[in-house]
Amino acid sequence: MPTASVIYQGQLRCQATHNQSGSIMETDAPTDNRGKGERFSPTDLLCVSLGTCIITTMGIKATDMEIDLTGATLQIQKHMYADPRRVGKIEITIDFPKALNLSEKDRTILQRVGDSCPVQKSIHPDIETVITYNW
């Protein structure tokens, strides 16, 4: 079974269904590229995919280490480049709960896991990624 099914709804909007769960999301073209900007754009989702992959893979490792990352927040900034139009840079800042008191060794292990997440390994090397971990 395919991972997802997508229907182009017109006016630069798509509806995507996650086939396993039935979960639905929509995308719009951004306002700087003829869209309404009422939903995430496909390039927004690329950046959000990186952020959620980083924290998810860190969460998996943290669980194995008996560490709870609940409450961590991410701020994601996309930078578009021209000629060709593309995502050129993704900046992600991760803020961990203040009550989280980890050793330098545990922080290093978790950051290495985050830096090697599957989405990070799938992004073209021409896209600069800047990840800041605020412990």
Domains identified in the chain, total number: 2
Structural tokens at position 8: 């182009």
Same-domain check for residues 53 and 87 = yes
Q: Do 47 and 29 reside in the same domain of the chain?
A: no
In the three-class reduction of DSSP (H, G, I as helix; E, B as strand; rest coil), residue 108 is classed as: helix
Shared domain check, 85 and 67: yes
Are residues 126 and 67 located together in one domain of the fold?
A: yes
Taking the alpha carbons of 31, 42, 79, 50 in that order, is the dihedral positive or negative?
positive
CATH number for 61:
3.30.300.20
> pTM for the full model?
0.95
19 and 78 housed in the same domain: no
Average pLDDT over residues 56-65: 98
* Structural domain range at position 93: 42-134
- 69 shares a domain with 129: yes
Q: What is the pLDDT of residues 36-57, one digit of tens each?
A: 999 999 999 999 999 999 999 9
Per residue in 89-131, pLDDT tens? 999 999 999 999 999 999 999 999 999 999 999 999 999 999 9
Percent of the chain with pLDDT over 90: 99
Tell me the average pLDDT of the chain: 97
